[in-house]
């Protein structure tokens, strides 16, 4: 294996796995959390659940179950609006939240975040070079990710969301000064055809420098979701032994 950038942050091993609750209803999400039981401590709740019903009631229920919560709504609006949204969210016991956009948006979020950790999105893992061309970006994925990571650090964001493919470059340039959350992680033996284009394995993600990984479909769609989550937790623990 090439150079390892294994996380140096004091995060319990079983909290490094963030389960993505990408489900159409709160009832289905709650059922999956109950099925996974103590195999998962950290959950991502995103836009699909936001549109399905009692989003904030569900977050409160997760906190009552002693779970950590990552709100992935990628706030993008005029800076004052984003700042007020982040301030309101910080009062709900949420642990992580994503924002998107320019320096002014990041500055407004940082000024309002309190104890909430704010993450800047770099480039979605569903995008490849052709997609960036379509969006009008005149740089490659790596340059875009590094530029956004540097700006996030300078402005005071706690971390970034980045594909595992770009994390080694971030660690080389910025060391471990930012939290890095890596989505699009697929266990080696479970790589379904889906809309994620820049994916890595569990082992790759952590040796590339991720602090947390986000896993959804490989656990949710497994024949035994709890067993799959436990298998991934074991893979994580092995990287830090």
Q: Are 43 and 58 in contact (CB under 8 A)?
A: no
User: How much of the chain exceeds pLDDT 70, in percent?
Assistant: 87
Fold of 13-239: TIM Barrel (3.20.20)
Q: For residue 101, name the pLDDT band (cuts at 50, 70, 90).
A: confident
More confident residue, 126 or 178: 178
Helix, strand, coil shares of the chain, percent, nearest 5, are 45, 15, 40
Are 18 and 212 a contacting pair, CB within 8 Å?
yes
What are the catalytic residues? 74
The pTM score is 0.90
Give the chain's mean pLDDT. 89
C-alpha span between 117 and 160 (Å, rounded): 10
Q: Could you read off the pLDDT of 176-188 as tens digits, one per residue?
A: 999 999 998 887 5
Domain positions in the chain are: 13-239
Q: Say which range, 120-124, 153-157, 219-223, 232-236, has the weakest mean pLDDT.
A: 120-124
The model's confidence at residue 73, banded by pLDDT at 50, 70 and 90, is very high
Report the candidate in 234, 232, 241 with the shortest Cα–Cα distance to residue 19. Answer: 232
What local confidence, expressed as pLDDT, does residue 135 receive?
47
């Amino acid at each position: 294996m090439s150079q390892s950038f294994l996380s140096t942050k004091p995060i319990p091993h079983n909290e490094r796995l963030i389960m993505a609750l990408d489900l159409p209803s709160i009832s289905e999400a709650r059922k999956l959390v109950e099925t996974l039981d103590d195999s998962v401590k950290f959950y991502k709740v995103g836009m699909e659940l936001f549109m399905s019903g009692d989003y904030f009631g569900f977050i409160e229920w997760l906190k009552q179950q002693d779970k950590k919560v990552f709100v992935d709504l990628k706030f993008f609006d005029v800076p004052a609006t984003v700042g007020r949204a982040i301030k309101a969210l910080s009062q709900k016991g949420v642990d992580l939240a994503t924002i998107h956009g320019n320096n002014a948006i990041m500055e407004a979020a940082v000024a309002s975040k309190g104890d909430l950790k704010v993450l800047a999105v770099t480039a979605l893992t569903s995008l490849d070079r052709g997609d960036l061309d379509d969006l009008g970006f005149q740089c490659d994925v790596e340059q875009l990710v590094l530029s956004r990571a540097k700006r996030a650090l300078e402005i005071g964001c706690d971390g970034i969301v980045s594909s595992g493919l770009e994390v080694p470059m971030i660690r080389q340039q910025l060391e471990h000064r930012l939290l890095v959350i890596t989505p699009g992680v697929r266990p080696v033996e479970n790589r379904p055809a889906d809309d994620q284009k820049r994916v890595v394995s569990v082992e790759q993600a952590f040796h590339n420098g991720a602090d947390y990984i986000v896993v959804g479909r490989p656990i949710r769609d497994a024949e035994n979701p709890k067993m799959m989550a436990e298998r991934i937790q074991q893979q994580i623990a092995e990287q830090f032994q």
